[in-house]
Amino acid sequence: MARKKIALIGSGMIGGTLAHLAAKAEMGDVVLFDIAEGMPQGKALDLSQCGPIEGFDAKITGTNDYADIAGADVVIVTAGVPRKPGMSRDDLLGINLKVMKAVGEGIKNNAPDAFVICITNPLDAMVWALREFSGLPHNKVVGMAGVLDSARFATFLAWEFDTSVKDVNAFVLGGHGDTMVPVLSYSTINGIPVKDMAKIKGVDEARLDEIVDRTRKGGGEIVGLLGNGSAYYAPATSAIAMAKAYLGDQKRVLPCAAYLEGKYDVDGLYVGVPAVIGADGIEGVIEIDLSDEEKNNLQVSVDAVKELLEACKGLDESLK
Ligand code: APR
């Protein structure tokens, strides 16, 4: 059986990290695409030379030609610009929308059967626009945010409780912005509800609120520290988990920006929800019970996503 093919659109910080992780895990052959000439080819050469040391068999190539992504099984999109300190994800909208148009057409014409994972920000609007521009079915286009946001939440909870991260199951809903909704009621330490664990460990509610707030602003904290660019190790690792779930038909339940048609009272938007990822892409969305407060918080997040879509429609006639 031929190897799987993984195409990475955007070969910057996240794209390069994705290529390394995918090759190292022998997920398939990797194509790095970018508009910058020479850069994807150079990264591909550099990464290929990790093969003899790490002992992986994966062909890694770099290109500036969409024809080279033909037949890709998975396409992961990071093309666009990242944030600078002081910027919100939403400030990237104008530039990255144009990028999504070019990328959507490239995918439509060359890899229409792929499972497409979008990482470019502002995520919930960009994944929607990418789906519109590519015309692919909604179950084959998904946004990566929830896996990352949950991982941030889990990291902070594990630090607070002094437990292994392996035992933390942290739950985040909503858009990938400061309005995201970390849901404490569904977060556990190996089955022990976080609120119970907090009592056991003497952690008060104010401290839990601080952890929730740090999670919401987790990306911005890293942007501020890096000074030039945004997070890339954990975003790439998150998208790889989603790609593996698809390629291995794992039916994992992962939080991701999935297209909603009525669930959570949302219709026609991409919003972060728990979804099942298997060989058919997004095979289902799981609707959980939420408290009134959680519902209200989710609504604020959904409204923020709606506003971004309206802004997209204002910038590009074809999206109306
Ligand atoms: N087509 C293909 N690649 C493009 C295009 C385009 N039209 N426009 C820009 N790029 C490329 C850039 O040349 C660059 O190599 O996208 C790459 C982006 O890489 P970085 O600037 O290193 O950004 P990165 O940290 O990888 O983040 C990418 O993901 O998390 C989001 O907010 C982040 O939107 C940003 C994206």
Tens digit of pLDDT for each residue in 131-182?
999 999 999 999 999 999 999 999 999 999 999 999 999 989 998 888 889 9
Per the omega criterion (within 30 degrees of 0), is the bond before 122 cis? yes
- Tell me how far apart the alpha carbons of residues 142 and 182 are, in angstroms, rounded to a whole number: 20
Q: Is the ipTM of this complex over 0.85?
A: yes
Q: Say which DSSP state 58 is in.
A: -
Provide the pLDDT for residue 18: 98
Task: Assess whether pLDDT exceeds 90 at residue 310.
Answer: yes
Q: Say which DSSP state 174 is in.
A: B
Task: Assess whether pLDDT exceeds 90 at residue 83.
Answer: no
What's this model's pTM, rounded to 2 decimal places? Answer: 0.97
Distance 188 CA to ligand 1 centre (A): 35
Class at the top of the CATH hierarchy for domain 146-313: alpha beta
Q: Say which DSSP state 204 is in.
A: -
Exposure on the CB side of residue 114, measured as CA atoms within 13 A: 30
Side chain identity, residue 31: V
Distance 81 CA to ligand 1 centre (A): 5
- Tell me how far apart the alpha carbons of residues 125 and 22 are, in angstroms, rounded to a whole number: 26
- Tell me how far apart the alpha carbons of residues 175 and 304 are, in angstroms, rounded to a whole number: 8
* Mean pLDDT of the chain, nearest integer: 96
Q: Does the CB atom of residue 104 touch ligand 1 within 6 A?
A: no
Q: Is 138 a catalytic residue?
A: no
Phi and psi at residue 262, in whole multiples of 5°? Answer: 120, -35
Provide the pLDDT for residue 113: 98
Kindly give the interhelix angle for 93-110 and 292-315, rounded to the nearest 10 degrees: 80
Task: Out of 24-28, 132-136, 156-160, 303-307, pick the least confident.
Answer: 303-307
Residue nearest atom 2 in ligand 1 by C-alpha distance: 34
Q: For CATH 3.90.110.10, list the domain ranges present in the chain.
A: 146-313
Task: Assess whether pLDDT exceeds 90 at residue 189.
Answer: yes
Going by pLDDT thresholds of 50, 70 and 90, the confidence category of residue 250 is: very high
Going by pLDDT thresholds of 50, 70 and 90, the confidence category of residue 85 is: confident
Decide if domain 5-143 falls under CATH 3.40.50.720: yes
Q: For CATH 3.40.50.720, list the domain ranges present in the chain.
A: 5-143
Provide the pLDDT for residue 91: 87
